[in-house]
Amino acid sequence: MTELGEVQARFADIVWAHAPIPSGELVKLCEKELNWKKPTTYTVLRKLCEKGLFENADGIVRVKITRAQFYSERSERFVAESFSGSLPAFIAAFTARKPLSDAEADEIMKMIEAFRKERQK
């Protein structure tokens, strides 16, 4: 999976929020939200299509990888590279400086319980 710079991430968020979208409408949206000219929009779109996030076919920009899939893969890679793939080590490091709130701990426990129920099926 690829990394996105700040500009590419802002653009990708626009595409994810509006896709499928005609490329002409995307140009207008980027002009309004990012103050970009048409060539800039098409250049960044082409780069993200080359990275496999989107496709621009027949004048319609479509998502190939959802925002959730992209960030999930990026998170998995971060844990793998930084914590030897150990989710408990990541959580220990994360909570060492910022303790979990009761609500966050409850939410994580619900996720674990749902995972265990799903695995038992």
Q: Which residues pair with 46 in a beta bridge?
A: none
- CA–CA separation, 29 vs 38, rounded Å? 10
Tell whether domain 6-67 is in CATH 2.115.10.20: no
Model pLDDT for residues 107-116, shown as the tens digit of each residue: 999 999 999 9
**pLDDT of 67-90, one tens digit each?**
999 999 989 999 999 999 998 999
Do the strands 60-63 and 21-22 form a parallel or antiparallel pair, or are they unpaired?
A: antiparallel
Q: Can you give the residue ranges of every domain in the chain?
A: 6-67, 88-121
CA 56 to chain centre: 19
DSSP per residue, 40-61: HHHHHHHHHHHTTSEEEETTEE
For the beta carbon of residue 61, count every other beta carbon within 10 angstroms: 21
